[in-house]
Structure 1
Amino acid sequence: MKCIQCGTDNKLKDRTSNQGRCIRCQHPFVFEPTNKDDEKITDSMFAKAIADISTNNTLFFTPKQFLYFLDNRVKRKRISGWGWLGLYLFFNVWATGFIGGFSSIFLAPILASFKLPASTTFIIANLGTQIWYIYKIYQDTKSSLINQPRRKENAQVLRLIGLIILIGGIYTSLFIFHSFILFVIYVLLGMLSIYLGFKQLNQSEIPQESLIRQEQVQSWLNRWRQINGSITKILPPPREEIAPAAVNPDVTAYSFDRLVVCDSAAIAQMLIANNFHFEKNCAILSISGYPQNIFDTTMLMLRRNPDLIVYALHDCSPRGVSLVNHLRTSSTWFLNSNVTMIDIGLLPRQIIAASRGMFIQSQSESAEAAKQLAPEIRSALSTDELEWLESGNFVELESFSPQKLIQILNHGIVNSQTLDSDDSSLILVDDTGNSMYVAESFG
C-alpha cells in the first residue's frame, strides 16, 4: 500500500513491523486493507474518492453523498462478471484434474466394487465445478449488494458459461466418454445456465443495499482528519438559524427569476455552498424552510416577480413526489398563485425509463407511505409509478454526486427557456391555475 505522503510502497510486513506507519517518512496509515472492518480500502483510494467527489476540491458535498460515492467504489473492487469467467476457466481445469485425480486414489476400491471406470471421479469433480459456478454467479445476478450494471454483466457471463458447457460437455460426453447420460446432463446444465442468464439479463432494477454504513464512514472520516487534517469540502449537518438575518433594504427591492425548492435541507445547503444561486440568479430553499433566517425575506422578494419559475428537486419517494403538490396548495408557498412549476425529479417514471442503473432502495415504511398518498398526488402518477412506489422503492438525491446534481439542475433550467417549443424535453401535465411541467428524464 502506497503512502499518500511520500509515495513509498509499504508491504503488509513493513506496515506491521512499523506500527502502521510508512517505513520511509513515518506517516501513519489510516486504513489497513487486510482489516475486515476497513473493507479493503486503502489511504490512496480514500484520498482519490475525496478528490473525485469534490471534482478536485472545487465542489462541496454532503456526508451521505460521500457514503454513496465510496460504497460504489468499494463495490467496484469486488469480483466482476468477467473475473468470475476467468476463475471458472481456471478452476474448471484445476478442480477436474486435482480433485478428480486426488479422489480417484482413495476411491479406487469403491469404484472397482461398482465396476466404475477411474475417470468417474474426474467427471464428478467437473460437474460439481459447473454446478457451483452456475449457482454462485446466478446468486450474484440478483444480489442486493451489487449494482445493476454488474448484475447484468454477471448474467452475460452466465450465458457464456452455458455455451461453454454445451460445447465442451457435448464433445466430451460423445467423443471421449461415449456416454448418452453424460450428454444429457451437460446439455441440461448448459441450457439451465443460458436460461438463467437470459432471465436475469432482462430483469428490472432491484433494490440495493450499501456495503458500508454511515457510522463506518463517519469513523473513517474522523480518523482521516486526525492524521491528515480537515476535509475542506465536506459539509456539516444543516443548522437551523431561527433569528432573522439583517438584509439590506436595497437588496430586498429586487427579486429572483427562479426558485429551486428541495425536499432536503442537506441538498439545499449543498447547492448554496457551491454558489449555484449566484450563477443562475435563483433562490434556493428547502421545503422545511432552510435557510430559516432568510426564508420570509426571500419569499417576499419572490412574490414580486410575476414571471417566477419554480423548480422542484426531490428524492424519488412518497414524500418527494408530494413536494410540488405541497408547493401549490400551501399558503406558505404558492397557494392561489399562477407561477410556473417544473418538477425536475426524481420521479418514478424517470427511473423506470432510465437505461443506467440508479441506487434503488426498498423499505416497508416507504411502501406504506406510498399507499397513503393523497388522491390528487396519485392522479398525477401512472399505474406503473404507483406500483413502483407501493413496492417500497425509493431513490435518494444524495446518491448522486454534487457535479451530477448541478448538471441535471442546469439542464432543467436551460430546457425551461423553451417551454413552448416542440424541442423542449419538459412535458406540460397541468395548465389549470399554475402551469405544471415535468422533466422526461433525470439528466
Structure 2
Amino acid sequence: MKCIRCSTDNTLKDRTDNQGRCKNCQHPFAFEPTAMGTVKVTDPMFAKAIADLSANNTLFFTPKQFLYFFDKRLRTKNLLSAKGCLLLYLVVTTFMTLVVGSNLFTHTVSVLMASLPAIAISLVAIVILASTSQSRKTSNRARQSSAKALQIIGGVILAAGIGVSIIGNSFPLFAISVFLGVGSFYYGRRQSRQMLIHQQLIVDAALFQGWLDRWQQINGSATNMLPPAREDRTPATVNSDVTAYSFDRLVVCSSAAIAQILIANNFHFENNCAILSITGYPQSIFDTTMGMLRRNPELKVYAFHDCSARGVGLVHQLRSSAKWFQNSSVEIFDVGLLPRQVFPSKSMFIQNTADAVEAAKQMSPEVRSSLSEDEITWLEAGNVVELESFTPQQLIHILNRGIVSSRELGSDDSSLIFIDSSYGNSYYAVESFG
C-alpha cells in the first residue's frame, strides 16, 4: 500500500515492522486492509474518493454524500463479477463441449456422464448470477448485468445441450438442458424487469463514521467536508443597499443539507438566485430574503427535493403556505426528484424505510393528483431516493439544467410539463433528472 504523503510503497511486512507507519516518512496509515472484513479499504483509495467527490478540492460536500459516493465506488468492483463469471463460463463450457463431442466418436463413456461436469458448472454459474441479480447490496447496473448473463447462459445451455443430446441420442441430457436453459433464461428475463428495487449500503453508516473519524484523526479534517447545517435563529443585520434589490430566482430545497451544499459551492452567486430550505435554512436571513423575493413580480421558484412522499409534497407546501407563496402568481418549477424521473434510471440508489410508508399514506389529495398510479404505488411501498446520494457536481448540473429549461418555456424543445395552475400560480415539472 502506498503512503499518501510520500508515495512510498509499503508491503505488509513493512507496515507491521513499523507499527502501521510508512517506512520512509513514518506517516501512520489510517487503514490496514488485511485486518478488515470483507470490505477492504486502503489510504490511497480513501484519499482518491475525497479528491474525486470534491473535484480536486474545488467543491464542498456533506459526510452523507461521501458515504453514498464511497459505497458506490465499492459497488463498481462487483460489476466485473457478472462479466467475469460469464466469460469464464463460456470458456469452460466450450472446452467441455469439445470433450463431450470427442466422446461421441470414441464411445468411451455415455454422453450424459461426459456432460455432468458441464452441467455442474452451469448450475454453479446460474446460482452465483441469480444471487447477484437479487442482492440488495449490489448496484442496479450490476444486477442488470447479472440478469443479462443469466439469459445468455440459458441460451448457451439450450443450444449446446440440446444439440449434443440429439447427436448423442440422450433424452436425459435433453430434458436437463431444456430445464436449466429455460429456467435460467426465464429467471434472467424476470430479474431484468425488476431493477427498481431498493438497495442496502455495503458499508454501515456507523462503521463508515468510524473510518472517517480515524482518517481525520491521522490526516486532519477533509477541508471540503461540510459540518452539519446550523440553525442560527438570530436575525442577521443586512445592509439596506442590499435589501433594496431582489433575486430573479429562488431555489427551495427539501432539506437544510442540500441548501447548505448549494450555498457553500456558490450556486447562488453564479445564478443570481436565493437558496432556502423548506425548514427555513438559513434562519438568520430567511425573513429578509423572503421580503426581497416578494418584491420581484417576475420571480421564478425551483423546488429541489428528495424522491419521497414528503419530497413530492414540497410544491404543494410552497403553493398553499402563507409563509411561502399562497395566493401568489409566481411560477413554480419542480426540478425533482420525482418517481417518474427515477423509473428510467439504472443507477440511482433506492432505499426503503417504514417511515416512508407511513408518510406516503398521509399524502394529501392535491399531491396525489399530480402523480400517476405507478408513482403512488412506488412511494407507498416505502421507496426513497435522497438528493445527497448525488455528488455536488451532479446536483449543480441538474439544477442548472432545470433553470435552463425554464428559460425555454414555450419553445418546441422544452423539457417542462405543465401540471397545474391552481392557487393562482403556474406549476411545471422537469421531465428528466440530470
TM-score for both structures, normalised by structure 1: 0.89
Tell me: CA distance 1:87–1:20, structure 2 relative to 1, closer, same or farther (3 Å).
farther
**Aligned equivalent of 1:234, options 215, 220, 225:** 225
**Aligned equivalent of 2:262, options 254, 271, 292:** 271
Gaps of 5+ in 1: 97-115
Gaps of 5+ in 2: 98-107
Q: Deviations over 1:199-240 (max 9, x none)?
A: 222334111111112222221121112222221110000011
Matched residue SS, 1:80:
helix
Structure-2 residue corresponding to 1:71: 71
Q: Is 1:84–2:85 an aligned residue pair?
A: yes
Structure-1 residue corresponding to 2:402: 412
Does the aligned pair in 2 maintain the 1:256–1:305 contact within 8 Å?
yes
The amino acid that maps onto 1:84 is C
Structure-2 residue corresponding to 1:108: none
**Aligned equivalent of 2:295, options 290, 304, 315:** 304
Structure-2 residue corresponding to 1:162: 154
Structure-2 residue corresponding to 1:111: none
The amino acid that maps onto 2:154 is G
Matched residue SS, 2:327:
coil
In the alignment, the residues of structure 1 paired with residue 403 and residue 378 of structure 2 have an alpha-carbon distance, to the nearest angstrom, of 27
Alpha-carbon distance, 1:90 to partner: 6.8
Q: Deviations over 1:238-271 (max 9, x none)?
A: 0111111111111111111111000100000010
Superposed, 1:107-126 pairs within 5 Å as 123-126=115-118
Structure-1 residue corresponding to 2:411: 421
Q: Is 1:286–2:277 an aligned residue pair?
A: yes
Alpha-carbon distance, 1:45 to partner: 1.2
| Higher mean C-alpha deviation, range 161-170 or range 331-340 | 161-170
**Aligned equivalent of 2:312, options 311, 318, 321:** 321
In the alignment, the residues of structure 1 paired with residue 420 and residue 117 of structure 2 have an alpha-carbon distance, to the nearest angstrom, of 65
In the alignment, the residues of structure 1 paired with residue 201 and residue 96 of structure 2 have an alpha-carbon distance, to the nearest angstrom, of 34
Superposed, 1:141-290 pairs within 5 Å as 141-175=133-167, 178-290=169-281
In the alignment, the residues of structure 2 paired with residue 55 and residue 236 of structure 1 have an alpha-carbon distance, to the nearest angstrom, of 19
| Higher mean C-alpha deviation, range 255-264 or range 4-13 | 4-13
Does the aligned pair in 1 maintain the 2:111–2:165 contact within 8 Å?
no
In the alignment, the residues of structure 2 paired with residue 15 and residue 88 of structure 1 have an alpha-carbon distance, to the nearest angstrom, of 39
Alpha-carbon distance, 1:173 to partner: 4.1
Matched residue SS, 1:311:
strand
Matched residue SS, 2:275:
strand
In the alignment, the residues of structure 1 paired with residue 25 and residue 113 of structure 2 have an alpha-carbon distance, to the nearest angstrom, of 56
Does the aligned pair in 2 maintain the 1:41–1:74 contact within 8 Å?
no
Tell me: CA distance 1:337–1:226, structure 2 relative to 1, closer, same or farther (3 Å).
same
Structure-2 residue corresponding to 1:385: 375
Matched residue SS, 1:5:
coil
Two-structure CA RMSD over aligned residues (Å): 2.3
In the alignment, the residues of structure 2 paired with residue 254 and residue 291 of structure 1 have an alpha-carbon distance, to the nearest angstrom, of 19
Instruction: Tell me the number of residue pairs that the alignment of Structure 1 and Structure 2 aligns.
Output: 422
Does the aligned pair in 2 maintain the 1:267–1:398 contact within 8 Å?
yes
| Higher mean C-alpha deviation, range 360-369 or range 305-314 | 360-369
In the alignment, the residues of structure 2 paired with residue 122 and residue 23 of structure 1 have an alpha-carbon distance, to the nearest angstrom, of 56
In the alignment, the residues of structure 2 paired with residue 94 and residue 39 of structure 1 have an alpha-carbon distance, to the nearest angstrom, of 34
TM-score for both structures, normalised by structure 2: 0.91
Structure-2 residue corresponding to 1:394: 384
Alpha-carbon distance, 1:87 to partner: 4.3
What fraction of aligned residue pairs are identical, expressed as a percent?
Answer: 58
Structure-1 residue corresponding to 2:105: none
Superposed, 1:87-106 pairs within 5 Å as 87-89=88-90
Matched residue SS, 2:34:
coil
The amino acid that maps onto 1:398 is E
The amino acid that maps onto 1:326 is Q
| Higher mean C-alpha deviation, range 127-136 or range 367-376 | 127-136
| Higher mean C-alpha deviation, range 202-211 or range 265-274 | 202-211
Tell me: CA distance 1:195–1:120, structure 2 relative to 1, closer, same or farther (3 Å).
closer
Alpha-carbon distance, 1:164 to partner: 2.9
The amino acid that maps onto 1:131 is L
Tell me: CA distance 1:355–1:243, structure 2 relative to 1, closer, same or farther (3 Å).
closer
The amino acid that maps onto 2:145 is E
Structure-2 residue corresponding to 1:3: 3
Q: Is 1:376–2:372 an aligned residue pair?
A: no
| Higher mean C-alpha deviation, range 219-228 or range 263-272 | 219-228
